[in-house]
Amino acid sequence: MEKELLLMLPGPVPVPERVRLAMARQAINHRSPEFGEVYADCVRCLKPAFGTENDLVILSGSGTAGMEAAVANLGRGRKIACLANGKFGERLYDISCRYGEATKLASDWGTPLPLEGLAASLEAGAEVVTMVHNETSAGILNPAHEVGKLCRKHDALFVMDGVTSIGGDVVEADRWGVDIAIVGSQKCLAAPAGLAAVSVSERARERFCDSPPYYLDLAAYLRTAKKEPMETPYTPAVPLFLALREAGLLIEEEGIEHWAIRHQRLAQAVRAAAAAWGLPLFPETDGLHRYSNTVTAIRMPGGTTDSDLRGLVKRLGVVIAGGQDHLKGKIFRIGHMGAVNAPEILAALGAVQAAMHRLGCPGADDGVAAAAAHLA
Amino acid sequence: MEKELLLMLPGPVPVPERVRLAMARQAINHRSPEFGEVYADCVRCLKPAFGTENDLVILSGSGTAGMEAAVANLGRGRKIACLANGKFGERLYDISCRYGEATKLASDWGTPLPLEGLAASLEAGAEVVTMVHNETSAGILNPAHEVGKLCRKHDALFVMDGVTSIGGDVVEADRWGVDIAIVGSQKCLAAPAGLAAVSVSERARERFCDSPPYYLDLAAYLRTAKKEPMETPYTPAVPLFLALREAGLLIEEEGIEHWAIRHQRLAQAVRAAAAAWGLPLFPETDGLHRYSNTVTAIRMPGGTTDSDLRGLVKRLGVVIAGGQDHLKGKIFRIGHMGAVNAPEILAALGAVQAAMHRLGCPGADDGVAAAAAHLA
């Protein structure tokens, strides 16, 4: 039979059968009460994962479309401070440069963000701050609560990329003072790729800029979401909404706290395996910056290459991620997002461990056993 | 059992089971040879429907996203002449206003475009021309070949919205001098909603503007499509690509000429029914402007309302479209797009005819029989 690979990536993730089958039904009209209900169900199920009571809309596009919508609607012509300690923080800066007067507040990938620099930027009049909450390129979780507090102190708008944290970790957008938060469907929500959900505070809406891209005009999405039945301004990707609704119902059934805490438990197991293997985790953490609970970035074992390691892992049917850009060959990354659980973690760690043995990596203790002890 | 409605709309359209089931499979990595093949298959199957040998890329977004990509990459800061004889022509003007110095060259919905006005605009220096090929809001097919000739004569770029013509009518983008053509997945291609395919001429690429929206940056799509394996710049809506590939294979199997000609035959049958009912078609045609082959816009029978007529039709399990904006209550529209054939047409016409009888519309002859004679 055709080999189905186990995707242990920081997205896309394995999609539960129930979610996939939701897409197989016949098309429905997107201007109908039936679609309105699907959209409303998605929103109801997602809000707890965001920790928000703000309005929430769904764009038919990737997480990047959601991020651009945030920046385009809040940042045009404004001073934007872009925190960056990884690939997606840098992408937010690149996007911000197309709209406003953007300043990059960067630290090395996977190291703590320059929060003093942010305070200075805010003193100097930054009106919008962008931050990636969970930076998958480096496996680090950034301090949203701290950044939110700084933004509120200076009355700046806070855009948080929650693409790979929302659903996979505790997120409290409202309590943290997040004005726009974004999640991608194909990450911790265990749905297929192609949708971005965006929450928008009242404060953000009051400060919307003129003339965002037509397709990313959040005011239009907010307006049509208030219609009865609920709508999107342009044709939505209906099958993906059907799938997201089903994934949302799965989360609702497990309960968002359990769903998120499961991610923490899986992350601890993977970290325990790395420790047993004698491989350091990549990020530098401190009291504010923590290891990601949705992807673990591990330093590559000595004497082997990225393609050797990941190639052998793939021959065992498991796909893990390498490093991106300048981290290529220096780290590998195991995603633990969405609906996965102990079996998938054990399969992934077993494959990595077997590959390391095969490649003769020295001194590796039994990581699978260490992880299993955590998972039991 | 749950009632499945027959969608005889100008999109979304019924999606063949084989296409829907393609989405039910497990997620695949979008940076993999497997996804690259899916993307390449989509492109191969779509090019003949466009009548193009130009590069073709696929955006995860609606047809509107594709239209905005065209305007944003060609129109920023330029003089844009926007032909409009319906809702989507006006939308193209609205989008163009966000990027360039746009002029609307409008005629009443469903009436011939002001081609003399276009010639004058081009004389006056218009650099980009936008036109909707098949205007579904009014059921009219606009003269792409003529407009293309005018554009070439004045060295202007020609953006053609082929969202509801490509796949459903003869389209010869290259021969007509179209620089960017766009199709939506949920129309004549019989795939689900959520993707826009965009063909780009060499000439268009040489004149790309700076700083389009990040998500709609066609240069990035063209660049990543040249990679091996073929890629999109941001995470694609993978299930929709799988479905579009399957729909493309269906078209390839039927042959694009047959696929398009089937639409013509169905359109003729629907027009014959309208004639038998004594109901005029809405558009005003001339030697250049023709009736749409993918949607038929028919004047509402006297003495009835839109909600009565379409309500009764829906009670028979068929969904047809009303008029949009100022045409609400004045016309109704029957879509005949995608994989539908004689049975769906007979079902739709039978439902409309029964509703008209029920509502006591006067003097209606047997439209179903008239259509059947064409379909036989």
pLDDT attached to residue B2: 57
Best probe of the A interface among B6, B19, B23, by most A CBs < 10 A, is B23
Cα A338–chain centre separation: 11
Residue B252 vs residues A244, A369, B45, B239, B247: alpha-carbon distances, Å? 31, 52, 6, 20, 9
Asked whether residue B59 falls in the same domain as residue B111, the answer is yes
Chain segment A140-162, per-residue pLDDT in tens: 999 999 999 999 999 999 999 99
Token pair of B165 as six digits: 């013509």
CB contact under 8 A, A64 and B234: yes
Among partner residues A72, A194, A216, which is closest to B194 by beta-carbon distance? A194
Mean pLDDT, rounded, for A66-72: 98
pLDDT band at A48 (very low <50, low <70, confident <90, very high): very high
Choose one of A210, A239, A254: the last residue of a domain: A254
Token pair of A330 as six digits: 């220096």
Give the C-alpha separation, B334 to B348, whole Å. 8
Residue A144 forms contact with B (CB below 8 Å): no
Residues of B in contact with A60 (CB under 8 A): 60-62, 65, 193-194, 237
Name the B residues in 76-105 with CB < 8 Å from any A CB: 94-95, 98
CB contact under 8 A, B15 and A26: yes
CATH code: domain of residue A334: 3.90.1150.10
Best CA proximity match to B191, nearest among A232, A23, A64, A192: A23
**Beta strand pairing status for A55-60 and A318-319?**
unpaired
What DSSP assignment string belongs to A223-272? HHHTSSS---SS---HHHHHHHHHHHHHHHHH-HHHHHHHHHHHHHHHHH
The secondary structure of residue A12, as a DSSP letter, is: S
Chain segment A162-193, per-residue pLDDT in tens: 999 999 999 999 999 999 999 999 999 999 99
Q: How many residues does chain A have?
A: 376
Residue B163 forms contact with A (CB below 8 Å): no
Token pair of A249 as six digits: 């119902």
Asked whether residue A301 falls in the same domain as residue A157, the answer is no
Examine residue B303 and state whether it is found in any structural domain, yes or no.
yes
Closest-approach residue (CA) in chain B for A88: B234
Model pTM? 0.97
What's the mean per-residue pLDDT of chain A? 96
Which segments in chain B show pLDDT lower than 70? 1-2, 363
CB contact under 8 A, A30 and B193: yes
Asked whether residue A169 falls in the same domain as residue A107, the answer is yes
Residue B371 forms contact with A (CB below 8 Å): no
pLDDT attached to residue A116: 97
Residue A11 forms contact with B (CB below 8 Å): yes
Asked whether residue B248 falls in the same domain as residue B264, the answer is no
Cβ atoms A298, A274 nearer than 8 A: yes
CATH code: domain of residue B208: 3.40.640.10
Asked whether residue B169 falls in the same domain as residue B224, the answer is yes
Choose one of A254, A281, A309: the last residue of a domain: A254
Query: Is the pLDDT assigned to residue A4 strictly greater than 90?
Result: no
Asked whether residue A135 falls in the same domain as residue A236, the answer is yes
Asked whether residue B113 falls in the same domain as residue B35, the answer is yes
Asked whether residue B90 falls in the same domain as residue B197, the answer is yes
Token pair of A360 as six digits: 């003769």
Please work out, in degrees rounded to the nearest 5, the angle formed at the alpha carbon of residue A228 by the alpha carbons of A221 and A244: 60
Query: Residue B353's domain spans which residues?
Result: 6-11+256-375
Cβ atoms B194, B244 nearer than 8 A: no
Query: Is the pLDDT assigned to residue A364 strictly greater than 80?
Result: no
Asked whether residue B190 falls in the same domain as residue B260, the answer is no
Examine residue B1 and state whether it is found in any structural domain, yes or no.
no
Please count the helices (runs of H) and the strands (runs of E) in chain A.
14, 15
Name the B residues in 222-261 with CB < 8 Å from any A CB: 234-240, 243
Name the B residues in 193-222 with CB < 8 Å from any A CB: 193-195, 211, 213-216
Give the C-alpha separation, B235 to A87, whole Å. 14
Choose one of B234, B254, B274: the last residue of a domain: B254
CB contact under 8 A, A236 and B7: no
Give the C-alpha separation, A88 to A96, whole Å. 12
Residues of A in contact with B213 (CB under 8 A): 68, 72, 98, 213, 215-216
ipTM score assigned to the predicted complex: 0.96
Give the C-alpha separation, A267 to A345, whole Å. 9
Token pair of A98 as six digits: 């197309």
Query: Is the pLDDT assigned to residue A2 strictly greater than 70?
Result: no
Higher pLDDT, A376 or B77: B77
Asked whether residue A238 falls in the same domain as residue A267, the answer is no
Asked whether residue B117 falls in the same domain as residue B243, the answer is yes
Chain segment B59-85, per-residue pLDDT in tens: 999 999 999 999 999 999 999 999 999
